[in-house]
Every structure is written in C-alpha cells, then in structure tokens.
Amino acid sequence: MPYALKSSGVGLGLLLLVLISVITDYSVNLIIIGGALSNTMTYQEMVRVAYGKPGYILITVMQAVYPFIAMVSYNVIIGDTLTKIIGRVGGDQVANTVLSDRNFTVFLATVAILIPLSLYKNIAKLTKTSLLSTGIICLILVSITIRAPVYAAQVVPSEYQWTFANSRIPQAIGIMAFAFMCQHNTYLCFHSLQRRSLERWALVVHLAVGFAMLASSLFGLIGFASFATGVQGDILENYCPRDDLINVSRLLFAVTIMLTYPMECFVVREVVENYFFQHPPPLWRHILLTTGIVALAYLVSMTTSCVSIVLEINGVLTAAPLAYILPPLCVMRLQNEPFFRMPNLPMLATAAFGIVVAVSGLIVVAMELAEGVRCSEGSEMPYCWGNSTRLARAYG
C-alpha cells in the first residue's frame, strides 16, 4: 500500500482506496445475488449460465490464474522475509550457506508448512488461522508505527513526496485491486457460513472490507511517511536487517502469508477439479493435484524477486475482470432485462471502471516490461550501511 500511494500520489491514492473498497463490497454481494438468480453454487457455474461455454472457459482461466499468481507473490515475500530472519539469527555461521539461500528457504517452507495446510479440503478449517492472521496484521502495524520516526529521519526530504496525484495511477489501482481481490473465493466463504442468508453475508462483507480499508490506509500512510518515494513494493524490505523489532514483524508477516497461502491454493484446486473432473476427488488425486499446484507456484516464484511488478500484473490482468467486470455483467444478463436502464447504472459504472483499469493497466505494465523491470527488493538499503545514532539506538 505505501508503494501504491507512491505511484498514485497520497491524496488521490487514499481516494482510490475508498473507491475500490466500496466497489469491492458491491461486487462481492453481486456475485452471491448472481448465484441466487442462476441457481448455482460457484462463480464458474454462474458465468456459464450467463454466457455459456465461452464465458465458462474465460472465468476458469482467470479464476485459476489470479490465485496462482498470488501464490507466486507470496513465495517471493516468504523468501525475502525468512532469509533476513535466518541471517540475523545465524549471523556469520549461516552466511554463504544453503540456509541463506532464498530458493532453499522457500522450498523448506513449502514442504514443511504450505503443502500440509493446503491439503485441507474444507476452507472452514482455516477459520482460526484467518483470525490469527488478522491479529498479526495489527501487531505489525504497531511495530511500523513505533519505527516510523526513526526511519523517517533517514529519508532525504523531497518537495514532490507528498504530492496529491502522480502519473502511475494504473499501477496503483492494480496493486489495490490485487489487495482487495476476494471475489474468486466468495462462494467458498459464503458456503462456510453456518446460517447462510444474503443479510448475514452482507454484514460479513461490510465488516471485512471495512477492516481491510482501514488497515490498508494506515499501512499506506505510515509506510509512506517512513520512507517517502524510496518505499519498496514490500515495505519490510525498507527496514534494516539488524532491526530486531522489525525482524519480529518479518517473522509474523511470513506466518500470516503462509496462513493465507492455502486459501489461494483452495481456489486453484477447486477450479481445476470443477473444469476437468466435476465430481469429488479420491484422496490420491487430491494429494497429487494439491502438491502439483504448490510445486509449480514454487518453481515460477524462483524466476523473480520483484514483488511489485507481480502485484501490478496480477491486479490488471485478472483481478480487474474478476472483481469489477464479470459480476455486474453476469447479474445484468441473468435479470433477462435490457442492460441500459436506470436500475443498472451502478452495475454499468462498476463494469466501466473495471474495463478502464484493465486496459490502461495492461498498457502501462507492457511499457514497464519493455523498458526492463528495476527494483531493489532483496537488497539492503543505503541508510543501513552507516552509523546513524538513531538507527543504532533502534537496534538496541
């Protein structure tokens, strides 16, 4: 979120954050309404009823690609985070050994934690881990708030750092769309409710999106205030490796990412099962498919260490269509009434917003890739090299 505010400008970024939160809340509820209209139990089936086989193939590809790329980005973050913790704890004893290797660290996390958690069949089993993840987010927010004055003092002020709007708006929207993207597992969560109803679901969505908007705003503002235009796609990459308070946050963040990872794997697995098999899997296929998805995500994540471009691509390529374009188009189609009428105005506006985000974002990301991706994630920041008295006191 700090990187998104850097891209769009702080003022405009906060407005975009509110806008995307409202649209996300609206579109998530639209998906459940579409399910009721089509008498279906999955996002894929809803699109199939609305737009036939072509729509079904499109939603299947997108609904598999989005969570899969999310799994890849989580692996990148796990690698960047855990290697710093291992280096701090092990010191010279682990330097230049396999334990300091990012690829090996992610491999260990994959085998020991990610695969076992992803093998669960029911998303409701992750209720307690999701609650734990929410608590961890609050603890990390406290830690970066404590460190904000210390690191802000190391940043060279710029007259442009607090500008209201910047030119990289599509990238910022792509990152925010990625962060708020939950439409792909809407039905999994809806069917995990003990007493399902549209009213109870709407309350859950309002609370969840509201908390996400508040937390995202605070992370964005505090992170940007700490590092200004030097902020990285993963804000924890801006902190020095010897800062033990932040190292605790790094460990907690790695834990919450690993607890979130299985929810994305659940969606990829369900999409593949629904498209190719359409019946409950035997145990051997469940284990084989889950392991194969996680292994493929691991291999792809080894090709990049720049999480910001991964978030941008996933946001504009799949999150925008899944979150903003398909839900309103499906509901309008399922109503069996003309699209262009006054009651449909909010849905038309949501779809138009998604189209603009997707098209403009793809153009900008393509230009970035043509110029070459440049990021310093995974590298120690220059202000960590000196002998700053305030940073030294922070390290204890």
Q: What is the DSSP annotation of 87-151? A: HHHHGGGTTTSGGG-HHHHHHHHIIIIIHHHHT-S-GGGGHHHHHHHHHHHHHHHHHHHHHHHHH
Query: Which domains, and CATH codes, for the chain?
Result: 1-395 (1.20.1740.10)
Question: pLDDT band at residue 388, thresholds of 50, 70 and 90?
Answer: low
pTM of the model: 0.77
Does residue 22 have a pLDDT over 90? yes
Show the tokens assigned to 282: 């035997």
Q: Nearest-5° angle of CA 339, CA 343, CA 346?
A: 85
Does residue 278 have a pLDDT over 70? no
Q: For residue 375, what pLDDT is reported?
A: 59
Q: For residue 158, what pLDDT is reported?
A: 64
Does residue 18 have a pLDDT over 90? yes
Q: What value does the mean pLDDT take over residues 328-349? A: 89
**How far, in Å, are 160, 318, 369 from residue 197 at the CA level?**
49, 28, 45
Q: What value does the mean pLDDT take over residues 35-46? A: 86
Does residue 150 have a pLDDT over 70? yes
